[in-house]
Amino acid sequence: MKILIPEISNPPETFLQRLILGLAEQGVEVFLATEQIKKGSLLNVHEKIRTVWKPSWNVPLGRKAFNITRILLLSLKKGRIKDFLKALRANSLREWYRVFPVLDKPFDLWYFPWILSAKDYLPYLREHGIPFVVSCRGSMVNVDPFTHRGEGTQGILREIFSAASVVHCVSRDILKTAEPLGLNPNKAVVIHPAVDVSFFSPPQVLHKDSTIHITTTGALIWRKGYEYALQAIAFLKQRGYSVHYHILGEGPERQRLLYTVDDLDLCSTVTLHGKCSPEEVRRVLQKSHIFLFSSLSEGLPNAVLEAMACGLPVVTSNCGGVSEAVTDGVEGWIVPVRDPEALAGAVERLILDKEMRLTMGEAARRRVVQSFNLSDQIPAFRTLFERVSSVS
């Protein structure tokens, strides 16, 4: 079976790298449409993972002119010069630039890990009857359609839902959110995110420290609700607890968070680690006592699953599908969204009760091993892809 992933970041997110590598290890040929796979990626190590040359549009003008010339010559070679000229006349050169490199290649199906990335390919996919699968992961479904530009996004989602062979949802919650936007539930399949539980695992020896280390991982973006977490940390500090808060991730809200840290007098209490490798994330998680998650909107966050796999109890806002992984009072505590007092109160309970902290951490580890294990997710995706390709 040959699968094309026509839109993917370079290098891909770690959870996608692990999925792609897992599929390759099960004999699936995975083709990534990109200029090249960057060094250091997990995807450089398997013969079943290949690239299809697809140039980036956002490059300097000279490089873009070179790429367009190359596409023109390849169009001549493949007998598609009329299509090239048609794209020029229709002012759709950018679409041709995006689609041409993957034309006429024998793939069994296309897979779009991010649903809205299928938008520009829809005319070609429909015209040629190509089976494709899209994933509903988070903000593209539960945030973007409800902003001031949401009507346009809703229309695009309806088109994609209608045309897709199957729609993968990362949680039952996101499936319910997508239904009013045009998703036929009979076309949807829920496959939860998963983590490598052999990589993300509890420390061999518990970290002993009089200071309680609290950690959050995730991009520094508004919907992660970091200001509510920082307010909660400030409350704990005011109550006299010795805590240190670690934020792992990078993004456009970094300056705002630095200002907030200073404004709340938390400079000695908070560390912004920036972008971290999986190994660095694991190291910090294994030295932590509690995982704090204050997000406003989610699908089902890998960050929470990685922390649970490392044996951490979770204090989380009740966002998206997080309750499908964390049971309130079992693997951690679930509190209302945008409630720093409640976040602080739940963390305080874990600070005061070490036995509860350890018991919930052990339950969190068991939950991920049993229900969110990468070794189970990969066969589920392979079965899904095989079903779609056989029907086509």
pLDDT of the residue at 101: 66
At residue 53, the pLDDT reads 74
DSSP annotation of 45:
S
Q: How many other C-beta atoms lie within 10 A of the C-beta of residue 122?
A: 16
**Helices in 264-373 by DSSP H: which ranges?**
278-286, 302-309, 340-352, 354-371
What fold does the segment set 2-54+108-194+374-391 form as a domain? Answer: Rossmann fold (3.40.50)
Quote the pLDDT of residue 299.
Answer: 92
Q: What is the pLDDT of residue 88?
A: 61
pTM comes to 0.89
Whether 34 and 101 have beta carbons less than 8 Å apart is answered as no
Tokens of 87: 């794209």
Query: What confidence score (pLDDT) does residue 75 get?
Result: 73
pLDDT at 213: 98
Angle, helices 226-238/254-263, rounded to nearest 10 degrees: 20
Residue 368's pLDDT is 98
CB atoms under 10 Å from CB of 62, counted, come to: 8
SS3 51: strand
**What are the residue ranges spanned by the domains of the chain?**
2-54+108-194+374-391, 212-371
What local confidence, expressed as pLDDT, does residue 58 receive?
74
Written as six digits, the tokens of 165 are: 């062979």
Q: Could you please report the per-residue DSSP string of 205-253?
A: SPPP-SSEEEEEES-S-GGG-HHHHHHHHHHHHHTT--EEEEEEB--TT
pLDDT per residue, tens digit, the chain (392 aa), is 999 998 887 778 888 989 999 999 999 999 988 766 665 566 667 889 888 877 777 778 787 788 778 777 777 777 777 766 666 665 566 666 667 667 667 899 999 999 999 998 898 888 889 999 999 998 889 888 888 666 789 999 999 999 999 999 999 999 999 999 999 999 999 999 999 999 999 998 887 789 999 999 999 999 999 999 999 999 999 999 999 999 999 999 999 999 999 999 999 999 999 999 999 999 999 999 999 999 999 999 999 999 999 999 999 999 999 999 999 999 999 999 999 999 999 999 999 999 999 999 999 999 999 999 999 999 999 999 999 998 65
- What pLDDT does 8 receive? 81
The DSSP code sequence of 358-383 is HHHHHHHHHHHHHHSBHHHHHHHHHH
Structure letter (DSSP) for residue 249: B
Quote the CA–CA distance of 323 and 334 in Å, as a whole number. 8
- Residues recorded for the chain: 392
Asked if CATH classification 3.40.50.2000 holds for the domain at 212-371, the reply, yes or no, is: yes
User: Do 2-54+108-194+374-391 and 212-371 share a fold?
Assistant: yes
pLDDT at 120: 84
Q: Are 245 and 233 spatial neighbours (Cβ–Cβ below 8 Å)? A: yes
- What ranges make up the beta strands (E) of the chain? 2-5, 29-33, 49-52, 109-112, 132-136, 166-169, 188-190, 212-217, 243-248, 270-274, 290-293, 314-317, 332-335
